[in-house]
Chain A
Amino acid sequence: MPDKFIIPIGPQHPALKEPGHFEFTVDGEVVTGASVRLGYVHRGIEKATESRNWNQNLYLLERICGICSHTHAMAYCLGVEKLAGVVAPPRAQAIRTLVGELERIHSHLLWLGVAAHEAGFDTLFMYSWRDRETVMDVLEGLTGNRVNYSANVLGGVKVDINGQQSDSIRKGLDFLEERTRHYLEVVTTDTVFLQRTRGIGVTTNEQAERLGLVGPTARASSVVRDIRIDAPYAAYAEYPVSVVTEAAGDLEARFIVRIKELFESYRVIREILDKLPEGELQARVPRRIKAGETISRVEAPRGELFYFIKSNGTDTPDRIKVRTPTMCNMASVLALAVGHQLADMPMILVGVDPCFSCNDRSVVINGGGDCWTWEQLRQYGIDYYRRKP
């Protein structure tokens, strides 16, 4: 009689920072099957947006996630501004980009600590989180809050950067850059840590494309996919970033990609501070947004964040649909789990940088309606982008 020994990880588990239910079927220490159940943090936010006006929704959507909150707000603002036909002034776009990159730094440093903690390397956890305090203090001085910065308003930003802010940002970045160099060295040379990350969770390029991975998880398998380059938004056309990829596809590659992205962020922030355009901070956005539908995509620290916004001409939206990057990456955890040891499970999970709060959206599938083939969908997409100005 086969032994079906199921280890539940979650919903309450020290490995998870947020609830999610994973069931690993193990044989000794080797995992033979995996399944996941999500939805523990479903709050009905998409439904709640339909009864609040456009300004109120900004703050509601910002709180879908605590650590990619600015990207959610930015995606929403860009989408609504597109619907209303308003373009935020260049200084506002630059400040949005700057806060977005600061948030990326914040998110990657947090992830580094959490991933080290999952491996049992508490020292790296403590030190990287100590250094994360620097970027949080910078953000607090700039925007007024350490998490959920609320720097965006519809049509621009709320906060300005003066000389003193600029100096404190630069000072913080100098400190962080030196520390990041040290962490890159630690992650690639520490023998015991490499035993936990090298060669574990290997995802080939072909697997990454098939599973539809996004973000640094995909870039660690040589998939060149970064929305900031493929479809520049906000000020990324003026301050371009270069894509960071690694070929190995294992956990070590994911560490290296995220740390190297930190260097890119430092560079872009310094460039923005040097060449900040003058101008006002907000453009006027009407209270009633014209009817229409639009999509907006931004590169959150975890991957591609996708918003679909539909307006019916009133001051509350008709439908807002959010597709977060963790949704795409979660399937890869199950696909990779089989064959690895139980001790590798938390590491593989944290390697995709899961954000369960972002994750829990619901989809309602109504019966009936017409059915499109793959060719029809593809043709529709091609026509849509041809029509785009």
Chain B
Amino acid sequence: MKIGAMLGDVFGSLFRRPATRQYPFERRKAPERLRGKLHWDAEKCTGCLLCVKDCPANAIEVFMVDKATKRFAVRYHLDRCTYCAQCVVSCRPGALQMSSDEWELAATCKEPFTVYYGDDADVEYLMA
């Protein structure tokens, strides 16, 4: 039975740096498996729509521009995504990847939260 069982820790802390990491002045490098923003590779996509079916948050939408030549456009909602990577697993051709360094995704208005992937002309045509 003693008073001050944490004396060793407490005394030692006077001579140690605080454990607080002062973000945003110091940033740790994110691990490579971090699940950040989703990226879509148009070359590999076959349009099977499994990612759309399996997304728990309806965050990804795939639009057919031309099924024969496999031209698609993708609309991805950053604010709905839960960053679970189920779409990455469901996609057999491997067209989806989650970035490991784009994770500071906060914004002050709604526009940055809707991301379009695909040919620019296709996107314009679809959104019209």
Contact = CB atoms under 8 A, between A and B. Distances in A.
The yes or no verdict on A and B being binding partners is yes
Interface in A259-305: 282
A58 B19 CA distance: 35
A185 interface: yes
Nearest to A153: B89
A158 B87 CA distance: 11
B91 to A, nearest CB: 12
Contacts of A144: 31, 33-35, 85, 98
A140 B31 contact: yes
25 contacts: A52-B56, A55-B86, A56-B56, A56-B86, A58-B56, A59-B82, A60-B56, A133-B19, A140-B31, A144-B33, A145-B34, A145-B35, A148-B84, A150-B35, A150-B86, A153-B86, A158-B85, A158-B89, A185-B5, A186-B5, A190-B4, A190-B5, A191-B2, A191-B3, A194-B1
A362 interface: no
Contacts of B35: 144-145, 150
A68 interface: no
Interface string B48-88: 00000111110000000000000000000000001111100
A338 interface: no
B27 to A, nearest CB: 14
Contact of A141 (B10, B33, B57, B86): B33
Given A55-B54, A123-B9, A141-B33, A150 B85 contact: yes
Contacts, number: 77
Q: Is the interface of A mostly helix, strand, loop or mixed?
A: helix
A58 B3 CA distance: 48
Given A59-B84, A153-B86, A189 B1 contact: yes
B107 interface: no
Interface in B1-53: 1-6, 8-10, 19, 31, 33-35, 53
Interface string A140-184: 111111001010010000110000000000000000000000100
B97 interface: no
A123 B10 contact: yes
B19 to A, nearest CB: 5
Given A56-B54, A56-B86, A190-B4, 17 more contacts: A53-B53, A55-B53, A55-B56, A56-B56, A60-B56, A63-B82, A123-B6, A140-B33, A144-B98, A145-B34, A148-B82, A159-B33, A182-B8, A182-B9, A185-B5, A186-B5, A189-B5
A133 B20 CA distance: 11
Which one of B34, B84, B85, B90 has the highest number of Cβ atoms from chain A below 10 Å of its Cβ? B84
A123 B54 CA distance: 45
A136 to B, nearest CB: 11
- How many residues of B sit at the interface, in one of the four size bands? 20 to 34
Contact of A192 (B3, B10, B34, B55): B3
Nearest to A150: B84
A159 B98 CA distance: 13
Contacts of B5: 185-186, 189-190, 193
A113 to B, nearest CB: 13
A302 B102 CA distance: 35
Given A56-B55, A130-B19, A189 B2 contact: yes
Interface of A: 52-53, 55-60, 63, 123-124, 127, 130, 133, 140-145, 148, 150, 153, 158-159, 182, 185-186, 189-194, 282
B26 to A, nearest CB: 14
Which one of A60, A123, A144, A189 has the highest number of Cβ atoms from chain B below 10 Å of its Cβ? A144
Contact of B3 (A52, A124, A190): A190
A124 B98 CA distance: 37
A141 B32 CA distance: 7
Given A55-B54, A144-B35, A191 B86 contact: no
A123 B4 CA distance: 11
A84 B2 CA distance: 57
Contacts of B85: 144, 150, 158
Nearest to B32: A141
Nearest to B55: A56
Contacts of A186: 5-6
Contacts of A148: 82, 84
A60 B54 CA distance: 12
Contact of A58 (B6, B86, B98): B86
A127 B16 CA distance: 13
A55 B84 CA distance: 11
Given A186-B5, A189-B2, A191-B1, A59 B19 contact: no
Nearest to A60: B56
B10 A59 contact: no
A146 to B, nearest CB: 10
